[in-house]
Amino acid sequence: MIAGTPEPPYLAVIFSSQRRPGDEGYGAMAERMVALAKEQPGFLGVESARDADGFGLTVSYWRDEAAIAAWKAHADHTVARRLGRDQWYADFQVRVCRVERQYGVGDR
Amino acid sequence: MIAGTPEPPYLAVIFSSQRRPGDEGYGAMAERMVALAKEQPGFLGVESARDADGFGLTVSYWRDEAAIAAWKAHADHTVARRLGRDQWYADFQVRVCRVERQYGVGDR
């Protein structure tokens, strides 16, 4: 679902990943991490899609760098990231960005 | 596939969309637009995923604002965007961002 973000500027974390085959606890952890992220101060929204070949994009939106740093340091998230690196992902890339402008289906 | 982008800063265009059911020429046009984008000056890479419910994320990476503006003004892309707005997408959002830092599976 498209996230209803505020007027820019705000930050986006683009997480691009290639999953290894098999679930191995990934689906449950992914759901838990989304639920936990939504509770964090400065969280603005998240969008995620993964195709049938296991390539996925998750973009989370945040108020400021402090919010991103706090979420990165969260203990449960740190455990999940380690499992991701060691088990679930064949490859990934994280890009931290400043959203400068946005427009949607209702805008010209 | 994860795009091999240069060292930041560079720009990212996050295109979030919800497809309507049915192909209606979408798949062929999407492939054509990716091929055409790759030929544009200042194009750095593209990543795309769409899930089984038709929600998708496409992130394209660009050298500068001039490259984004030129691609937006490309005649074939303008036709594709109009078809997207009128026929293929129930909803979409575009966010233009400045990538400030990145790290991958091989970095700590």
pLDDT at B105: 84
CB B101 within 8 A of CB A18: no
Could you give the residue ranges of the DSSP H alpha helices within B1-108? Answer: 26-38, 65-73, 75-83
pLDDT at B28: 97
Residues in chain A with pLDDT < 50? none
B15 close contact with A: CB closer than 8 A: no
pLDDT at B84: 96
Structure token pair of residue B46: 């593209």
Share of chain A above pLDDT 90, in %: 95
Q: Closest CB to B47: pick one of A12, A57, A89.
A: A57
Check A2 against B102: CB less than 8 A apart.
no
A63-99 burial, b at 16+ Cβ within 10 Å, e below that, comes to beeebbebbeebeebeebbeebeeebbeebbbbbbbb
Could you read off the pLDDT of B18-73 as tens digits, one per residue?
999 999 999 999 999 999 999 999 999 999 999 999 999 999 999 999 999 999 99
Rounded CA separation B16/A59 (Å): 10
Structure token pair of residue B10: 């560079």
Classify the C-alpha dihedral A24-A27-A28-A34 as positive or negative: positive
Q: For residue B78, give how far its alpha carbon lies from the nearest alpha carbon of chain A (Å).
A: 13
Check A89 against B105: CB less than 8 A apart.
yes
pLDDT at B108: 56
Check A85 against B97: CB less than 8 A apart.
no
pLDDT at A107: 80
Complex prediction ipTM: 0.96
Check A51 against B51: CB less than 8 A apart.
yes
